[in-house]
Chain A
């Protein structure tokens, strides 16, 4: 089954990069990510770095209360409700934070646009029938998820590397090791995060055959998740609730978020599998 899924993934990946919609979504994501990161790099170079220098000097005099950094941290604590995350955010290069923020904000929409017809594209034209003569339904689903997952991995990696090289060239006091470590960490977290939404797209694509309706449904679900995450009682039931934890420097908090995203991903994917197993193709 896995060999067949891998063959489908390879074939589908090389087909997907020939489709305008997938290419458009990927390029859009990469441009937004790099654009936001580039703006952050310039702010980092002109505002944050001098501010950090001042903070260090003030800190050396054992009085940080009046520094701009402290004020920003207070604001972040107010909005995020987590002092550790606020501190971590201030401590990391702004472009890394900006880049990860873009990923967490736009990746679900990128996936919705790119993968809304992950399974239905094969069902609508009945091309799935040629595959099902040669492999089980599970291989079709996992192969398609794998190929779209690889697209997400590639897109995030391209954006990561491009931004890293840009920051390296633009920032004189660039902490290469810190940036590289953080970007690698956030890239891995992005993949777990993306898996959840890709599985959701897979589920929707087994339920809805029309592409525009599937995209609208996915957008609606993403908005619903955001709304529900604002409700204290219901928020643990939606993936958006665990987004903040991905920023956390505390391994346990980050691990809970990663587990939640993987868990949601498995639940959505199981739903997609059950639906695909039972339906006519």
Chain B
């Protein structure tokens, strides 16, 4: 049986001033996953988010959000939340009033919305600023309030457009923790330019460029985590290829010019897990009196991103 998808798009296309912002985009987001949505500036990420939320209408193509087509988004409206980019809050109202209002609009009672407002304000460390008016928020505070409203209630799907952009490292860490805590309860679609962050928290990702899908896959597939291991040695070893030739799981070895960094391509052997293959490699290097500085599985998302876009 095929895996259930929280989001499916088919040939989604959107023009702005005659220019294609999104060009026949087709991708899927598995239910329950934390899914990264990557692309360079102007790749069409925000426009895609806006179409999935029903803010802007596609010129062609369609999408299903929680199994409902875009034309029927009202049916799932209270199950989907989002952090839209560059959206302002009512300037004259306090952030507490704003969150309570959004809670009530999502179908909560007055008491529930007050409790929820309190909870989400605490998660983004805005309790002490609860009486601050929407028009008096700094960029960082507005971002935190945006995240707070996206965490209101118990959504099945959360779309976060650049959630940690402009936040200090501590707050960004807190937001990442919140996203990870949603795993298993909700599907989260995250767009970010922070590739280390995406690699850290996401199960899978799609990379788009010029409005088109470049690739989509699990994080292990995208980074080649099961295909390659990069080992940094304390001291260079002579004839590394010979040392590692005893490992059946090693397909190819290439060393940097100074001999400190080894890129070891792995081959899949029946019954041998990648972890065992990595252990074999390290054991062989240590047995040859090598000292291990660091070990990294895969080439890193950034490398892959730069290669593809």
Contact = CB atoms under 8 A, between A and B. Distances in A.
A136 interface: yes
B93 A134 contact: no
Interface in A112-159: 125-127, 129-136
A208 interface: no
Given A4-B105, A135-B77, A280-B56, A130 B84 contact: yes
A8 interface: yes
A11 B55 CA distance: 21
Contact of B89 (A7, A19, A130, A281): A130
Size category of the binding interface on chain A: 20 to 34
B55 A135 contact: no
A127 B149 CA distance: 12
B119 interface: no
B104 A133 contact: no
B86 interface: yes
A278 interface: yes
Interface string B176-198: 00000000000000000000000
B88 interface: yes
B263 interface: no
Contacts of A135: 77, 105
B90 A126 contact: no
B28 interface: no
Interface string B85-117: 011111011000100011011100000000000
A136 B55 CA distance: 11
Interface in A9-27: 11, 15, 18-19
A125 B88 contact: yes
A258 B150 CA distance: 45
Contacts of B105: 4, 7-8, 131, 134-135
Contacts of B86: 126
B101 A281 contact: no
A130 B102 contact: yes
B82 interface: yes
B88 A127 contact: yes
A115 to B, nearest CB: 17
B106 A134 contact: yes
Given A134-B105, A281-B56, A129 B87 contact: yes
A129 B55 contact: yes
Given A15-B92, A134-B78, A126 B87 contact: yes
A135 B78 CA distance: 8
A15 B84 contact: no
A129 B101 contact: no
Contacts of A125: 87-88
B53 interface: yes
Pick the most buried of B53, B93, B105: most chain A CB atoms within 10 A of its CB: B105
Contacts of A18: 92
B278 to A, nearest CB: 44
Contact of B104 (A7, A129, A136): A7
Interface string B45-66: 0000010011111000000000
A18 B50 CA distance: 30
Contacts of B77: 133-136
Contact of A132 (B53, B89, B90, B93): B53
A255 to B, nearest CB: 37
B22 interface: no
Contact of A126 (B54, B74, B84, B97): B84
B25 interface: no
B81 interface: yes
B12 interface: no
B143 to A, nearest CB: 14
A125 B135 CA distance: 11
A11 B54 contact: no
Contacts of B106: 134
B102 A134 contact: yes
A125 B137 CA distance: 14
Given A134-B78, A280-B57, A127 B87 contact: yes
B219 interface: no
Interface of A: 4, 7-8, 11, 15, 18-19, 125-127, 129-136, 278, 280-281
16 contacts: A7-B101, A8-B105, A11-B93, A11-B101, A126-B84, A127-B89, A127-B90, A130-B89, A131-B105, A133-B53, A133-B77, A133-B82, A135-B105, A136-B77, A280-B50, A281-B55
Given A19-B92, A129-B53, A134-B105, 6 more contacts: A4-B105, A11-B101, A129-B84, A133-B80, A133-B81, A280-B56
